[in-house]
Amino acid sequence: MTQKIKHHLNDATLMDYAAGNLPEAFNLIVAAHLSLCDTCRAQAMTFDALGGEVLEHLSGTADADDTPVRMDAQSLRSTMALIAGGPVEQITVKRSKDAVLPGPVQDYVGGGLENVRWRPVGMGVRQAILPTAKGATARLLHIPAGAAMPDHGHRGQEMTLVLQGAFQDEDDYFARGDVEIADSDLHHTPVADIHEDCICLAVTDAPLQFDGLLPKIAQRFLRI
Amino acid sequence: MGRSGAAGQPCAMGFVGIDKKRHVSKDDRNEADAKRLLWVGHMIRIRDHKDRAAFAELFGHFAPRIKGFLMKSGADASLAEECAQDVMATCWHKAGMFDASRASVATWIFTIARNRRIDILRRQRRPEPDDLPWGPEAEPDQEDVVALQQDTELLGKALADLPEAQKELIKLAYFGELTHSEIASETGLPLGTIKSRLRLALERLRHAMT
Domain containing A34 equals: 7-223
Kindly state whether A81 is in contact with chain B, defined as any CB-CB distance less than 8 angstroms: no
Minimum Cα–Cα distance from B170: chain A residue: A54
Q: How far is CA A169 from the centre of its chain?
A: 21
Domain contains A16: yes
Asked whether the beta carbons of B57 and A61 are under 8 A apart, the reply is: no
- The rounded mean pLDDT for chain B is 83
Residue type, A161: L
Asked if the Cβ–Cβ distance from A56 to B65 is below 8 Å, we say yes
Asked whether the beta carbons of A167 and A193 are under 8 A apart, the reply is: yes
pLDDT band per the 50, 70, 90 thresholds, residue B1: very low
- The rounded mean pLDDT for chain A is 85
**Partners of residue A76 in chain B, C-beta under 8 Å:** 56, 59-60, 63
Mean local confidence (pLDDT), A80-86: 90
Domain contains A120: yes
Does A198 or B14 have the greater pLDDT score? A198
Burial of residue B163 (number of CB atoms within 10 Å: 0-12, 13-18, 19+): exposed
Domain contains A216: yes
Asked whether the beta carbons of B178 and B192 are under 8 A apart, the reply is: no
Q: What is the pLDDT of residues B186-208, one digit of tens each?
A: 788 889 999 999 998 888 888 87
Is residue B126 scored above 90 in pLDDT?
yes
Q: Nearest Cα to A159, choosing from A40, A65, A73, A3?
A: A40
Mean local confidence (pLDDT), A81-102: 75
Total structural domains in chain A?
Answer: 1
Asked if the Cβ–Cβ distance from A50 to B189 is below 8 Å, we say yes
Q: What's A102's domain CATH number?
A: 2.60.120.10
pLDDT over 70 for what percent of chain B? Answer: 81
pLDDT band per the 50, 70, 90 thresholds, residue A86: confident
Residue ranges of alpha helices (H) inside chain B are 5-13, 18-21, 28-49, 52-72, 77-93, 105-121, 142-161, 164-174, 183-186, 192-209
Q: Nearest Cα to A76, choosing from B91, B10, B111?
A: B91
Helix (H, G, I), strand (E, B) or coil at B209: helix
Q: Which residues of B59-73 are buried (b: 16+ CB within 10 A; e: fewer)?
A: bebbbbbbbbbbbbb
Domain contains A214: yes
Cα B56 from Cα B42, distance rounded (Å): 10
What is the reported pLDDT for B180?
67
Q: Nearest Cα to B129, choosing from A206, A5, A189, A103?
A: A103
What is the reported pLDDT for A218?
54
Residues in chain B: 210
Q: What are phi and psi of A30, to 5 degrees?
A: -65, -50
Delimiting residues of CATH 1.10.10.10 domain(s) in chain B: 145-209
Asked if the Cβ–Cβ distance from B160 to A57 is below 8 Å, we say yes
Q: CATH number of the domain at B32-126, out of 3.40.50.2000, 1.10.1740.10, 3.40.50.170, 3.40.50.1400?
A: 1.10.1740.10
Mean local confidence (pLDDT), A16-21: 93
Domain contains A39: yes
Residue type, B49: H
Picking from A19, A35, A88, the nearest residue to B130 by CB comes out as: A35
Q: ipTM of this model? A: 0.87
Is residue A89 scored above 80 in pLDDT?
no
Instruction: Quote the minimal CA–CA distance from A184 to chain B in Å.
Output: 16
Domain contains A1: no
Mean local confidence (pLDDT), B30-47: 90
Question: What part of A 173-202 touches B (C-beta under 8 Å)?
Answer: none
Mean local confidence (pLDDT), A168-197: 88
pLDDT over 90 for what percent of chain A? Answer: 59
Domain contains A2: no
What is the reported pLDDT for A216?
54
Is residue B137 scored above 80 in pLDDT?
no
Residues in chain A: 224
Is residue A138 scored above 80 in pLDDT?
yes
The CATH code of the domain at B145-209 is: 1.10.10.10
pLDDT over 70 for what percent of chain A? Answer: 81
Cα dihedral: B158, B73, A132, A27 (round 10): 0
pLDDT over 90 for what percent of chain B? Answer: 52
Q: What is the pLDDT of residues B151-182, one digit of tens each?
A: 999 999 999 998 888 888 888 889 987 776 66
**Partners of residue A104 in chain B, C-beta under 8 Å:** 127-130
Q: What is the pLDDT of residues B21-32, one digit of tens each?
A: 334 445 666 787
